[in-house]
Copies of this chain bind each other. A is one copy, B any other.
Amino acid sequence: MTEAAQRSTPTGRAKLADVAALAGVSVGTASKALSGSGRMRPETRQRVLDAVETLGFRPNQHAQSLHAGRSWTVGLMTTDGIGRFSTPVLLGAEDALGAGKISVLLCDTRGDTIREQHHLRNLMDRRVDGIIVTGRRTDPRPPLNGVEGIPIVYALSPSTDSSDTSVASDDRGGAHLAIEHLLATGRGRIAHVTGPEHHAAARDRARHAVGLLERSEAQLAGGRVHFGEWSEAWGRRAADLVLRTAPDTDAFFCGNDQIARGVADTLRERGRDVPGEIAVVGYDNWDTMALASRPPLTTIDMNLAEIGRIAALRLLEAIDSEPVPGVHTVACRLVVREST
């Protein structure tokens, strides 16, 4: 028995024919026994299952894929490197997909269109079931072109085409959380230091934060938003600037944790007490920044892994039923630490 099966499988792996032979049935019957379809005597099914067990049979995915015309694989395209932002998204997606026995094919385009096209061809050749596209920036990006019949979900960077499916972070909600938190803790003169104005993330959060302040008792310290870079150095410079132009500022809402840390460092060096005198709120909840800062930063967490998970779920929907077009936003979370 065993040696017969052994003999017939020179590759070392048992095939369905070996299982069928051992169970004394035909290949077709063995297949039905495994898939649960087709009617058969329970003991026959059991014989097949026993044979599967004995031989350690595992179906050949290539054969299944060839037959089904799909691969139980999705492509994950990251448009510029795999950075701090795309990694959690990617893991969230991998997690959600892995549960459904779907695997993830990794493609990094490094922001290069040639590379992107190359990977796209590759993914289509492999008949992937779907594609998730993710970027580092939250700015909308042009849709992938040349893809037909394969569902696509954009994560983090939504597609400019609103008939595509996108999952993005709720930037306005994030700004809302931060400002409301500062107001609720009694701050009234709030400065906003953030990244470059040509980044959608900086613009949207700023606009919403300013809007909220206008509708409240509080005011925007310095009278304007301080756009700059996403760096600690800018945070340090901006903090000095604000302290000079609006000395009575009692809170900083920063566009990311690096800026916030720069701000906190400067306040510390100038002898201003955080949070006693001035509160600081960051954005991103990037551990290495937020926790290492003195004091540790209250910050906004974008729930990036959740974005990845949702993107994966949307993709699964699109794969086996209908895509839900539009931009789905994922709420942020306020993480309170000692800086407020």
Q: Which residues of A contact B (CB under 8 A)?
A: 11-12, 58-63, 65-66, 69, 71, 73, 76, 81-83, 87, 90-91, 94-95, 98, 101, 103-108, 118-119, 121-122, 124-127, 148-149, 231-233, 258, 262, 288-289, 292
Contact = CB atoms under 8 A, between A and B. Distances in A.
Contact of A292 (B101, B118, B232): B232
Contact of A103 (B82, B87, B105, B233): B105
Assembly stoichiometry (copies): 2
A71 B71 CA distance: 12
A87 B82 contact: yes
A122 B101 contact: yes
B71 A81 contact: no
A62 to B, nearest CB: 4
B149 A12 contact: yes
Contacts of A231: 292
Contact of A233 (B61, B62, B292): B292
A241 to B, nearest CB: 18
A138 to B, nearest CB: 19
Given A12-B148, A231-B292, A292-B232, A61 B105 contact: no
